[in-house]
Amino acid sequence: MKIGAYLIWAATAIGVGVVVLLGYFLDSQLVLSLRLALMRWAVLIAAAALLLGLWNLLSVHWSKVSEQYPGWPYSALLILAFLVTLSLGLMFGPDNAVMVVIFDYIQLPIETSLMALLAVSLVVAGYRVVASRRDVSSLVFAVTAFLILIGTGPWLIGNGGSLQILLGEIRNWLAQVWAAGGARGILLGVALGSIATGLRVLLAADRPYGG
Amino acid sequence: MNILGLAVLGLFVLLMLFFVSIRTRWPAAFRPIKAYQELNTAVERAVEAGERVHLSLGTGSVIGSDSAAAFAGLSLLSQVASATTTSDKPIVATAGDGAMAMLAQDTLRSVYAEANAEEHFKAISGRMLGPTPFSYTAEIPNLLDNEEVSVHVLAGSFGAEGALAADFGRRQGAFVLAGTEDVQSQALLFATTDYPLVGEELFAAGAYADAGPLHAASLRTQDAIRLMIILLIIVGTVLKTLGVIS
């Protein structure tokens, strides 16, 4: 029975995957229409999965509250915030002023402050790379980051001078020749890796749908 | 009709099958990747010490163009979960997308069923932490702290928030391995992680974990196609320099 179910899932995944993939290469109206229909189904299923994911999120935090796990008040706050936001959203709609206020004055500042924290974390991490990892790649990383930084920003003293122009040229050379070339090489590898991963799913060697 | 695209795809599949067929006569030999070598040791240590492994599939969606990295992460999840089925503290897999969290649950269910350890599977072992990149990341320190995580693996699609997620792991004192498909985020992860996966190393997880002949074959195929592309670039550069092509 299990093997039967596995074969059905695998055949469905392969069939749907092949149709969607062919839709990118063939001009056939039939294949294009099929691809469009399947993609629309995928969007609908992903939306339903979001609801399941949110239910899963609530279950995890509800169990933390009910079992009084360390940090359970944060979970209680999350559940409360979720329910209040959901209720307001259902009552007034997502474009209502109340929802806009919640987004602009609560969610946006919190996410922006995390972004600001990222800047601090990166400076500390950059220092740690130099201090703890004493190898060639770390040295190249640190020197390049330093040159790019001083070649990009305005200077407090000597702004527009010949040294700043020279460092600006070095920055451009590093960014446009070395960094762009390296990034293209990495992108090429990532693209090939993505194709291989997709093909493994199509050949049922990888089965993210279980089985 | 895009014949060239189809031909390249066909060549990819044929090469994969070819490398599968010759795997015993001409076995694959891969360069060592320190991150994967150390991961095995760290997972074993975590199982013995009764600590938890956390694997993040990132903040990408199943239907987005960034899903390939998360699928590679699912492949790694399957391998890491197999090594932790005997642990008192089962692995936790998280995602920023509901559908990806469902796939993580399904992967874990399959792994535990295969190991006859269904009793260790819990639906909340695969979970969605938050629907936006930063709400997802904000929950990570809480997870690492409360679940006593000592191995923190980031294998999926991340933007800049991936660097924060990795940094939280370092602050916790956990073993941190991170890989993503985004080039800029890879640079950030290089600075914030002890064991970063650079380039397409993330997609090689299955081959290094011995997940099956097609994984090793796909890695060899990538190398073969890459060589062809490099040759084409060199030939194109020479021809353009000589003025043969405009």
pTM exceeds 0.80, yes or no? yes
Say if the Cβ atoms of B9 and A21 lie within 8 Å: yes
Which of A47, A7, A40 minimizes the C-alpha distance to A23?
A40
DSSP-derived secondary structure for B57-84: EES--TTSTTHHHHHHHHHHHHHHHHHT
In a domain, B243, yes or no: yes
Q: What is the pLDDT of residue B35?
A: 94
Q: Which residues of B touch A185 (CB under 8 A)?
A: 199
DSSP-derived secondary structure for B109-141: HHHHHHTT-GGG--GGGEEE--SSHHHHHHHHH
In a domain, A113, yes or no: no
In a domain, A54, yes or no: yes
**Adjacent-strand bridge partners of B177:** B153, B195
| Unique residue bearing structure tokens 């960034």 | B66
Q: How many domains does chain B have?
A: 2
Which of the listed ranges A24-28, A146-150, B11-15, B97-101 does the model predict with the highest average pLDDT?
B11-15
Q: How many domains does chain A have?
A: 1
Say if the Cβ atoms of A208 and B98 lie within 8 Å: no
Which of A207, A80, A76 minimizes the C-alpha distance to B107?
A207
Range of the domain at A12: 1-92
For residue B27, the one-letter residue type is P
| Unique residue bearing structure tokens 């509800």 | A62
Say if the Cβ atoms of B107 and A210 lie within 8 Å: yes
| Percentage, residues of chain B above pLDDT 90 | 70
Query: Average per-residue pLDDT in chain B?
Result: 92
In a domain, B36, yes or no: yes
Closest-CA residue of B relative to A29 is: B1
Which of B31, B36, B32 minimizes the C-alpha distance to B195?
B36
**Adjacent-strand bridge partners of B178:** B154, B196
**Adjacent-strand bridge partners of B157:** B58
Residues B196 and B219 in one domain: no
Residues B114 and B171 in one domain: yes
Question: What does each C-alpha distance from B63 to B60, B83, B97 come to in angstroms?
Answer: 9, 29, 10
Q: What is the pLDDT of residue A211?
A: 62
What ipTM did this prediction achieve? 0.90
For B114, phi then psi, to 5°, come to -65, -35
pLDDT tens series, chain A, 211 aa: 466 777 888 899 899 999 999 988 888 899 999 999 999 999 999 889 889 999 999 998 999 899 888 888 989 999 999 999 999 999 998 889 999 999 999 989 998 998 898 888 888 888 888 888 788 888 888 899 889 988 887 887 777 788 889 999 999 999 999 999 999 999 999 999 999 999 998 988 888 876 6
Residues B64 and B85 in one domain: yes
**Contact B81/B107 with Cβ under 8 angstroms?**
yes
